[in-house]
Amino acid sequence: MDTTYLKSFALGAVSGMRSLMAPVFTNEILKSHHTRRLMHSPFKVLAEGKLSPFLKTAALGELVVDKLPDIPDRIEPALLAGRAALGALSGAAFCAMENKNMAIGAATGAAGAIAAAYLFLYLRKKAGSEFKINDTVVGIAEDLMTIGSGLGLIKAAK
């Protein structure tokens, strides 16, 4: 069974949780699949890995900034659009690597980002209000889920 589009959706979901983590994990996946097809695609720069240090630094910054009290909800239109765009980029790049339809990959990646953004915002607020768990603690738990999901996707892509 071909799971390419499911993995594109999952990469998008990572973006819905932490927007910059999806490009980090996509970069790691593409670097390990350094194919001719990728070197002649719009995703060449991700496959070469030149952006790795920048992406990782930006993603670490996002982990810190996410815990600040005045950060707007991830479903604010501009923020949600950014998550969807990064999910689409990751999904399309993954599909390019797998020689699958990049438009479908972009759509599934964007859908995953939007679905996860709403789901995890709801869960985060619910944990805080109903279970009285500190928001920073919930945010760190979400960080760990995001990282674990991304590492699982890297392993699944090998």
Q: Span 31-42, mean pLDDT? A: 82
Residue-level pLDDT at 35: 74
Q: How far apart are CA 130 and CA 62, in angstroms?
A: 26
Q: Span 69-79, mean pLDDT? A: 94
- Do 15 and 158 meet the contact criterion of CB atoms below 8 Å apart? no
Does the pTM of the predicted model rise above 0.75? yes
Residue-level pLDDT at 49: 82
Q: Span 71-93, mean pLDDT? A: 97
**Residue 24: which residues within 8 A CB-CB, separation 6 or more?**
52, 55, 56, 59, 150
Q: How confident is the model at residue 158 (pLDDT cuts 50, 70, 90)?
A: confident
User: Which run of H or of E encompasses 94?
Assistant: helix 77-97
Residues 100-142 pLDDT 10s: 999 999 999 999 999 999 999 999 999 989 999 999 999 999 9
Exposure class string for 114-147: b at 16+ Cβ within 10 A, else e? bebbeebbeebeebeeeeeeeeeebbeebbeebb
For residue 15, give the DSSP letter.
H
- Average pLDDT of the chain is 93
Of 1, 29, 2, the residue nearest 90 (C-alpha)? 29
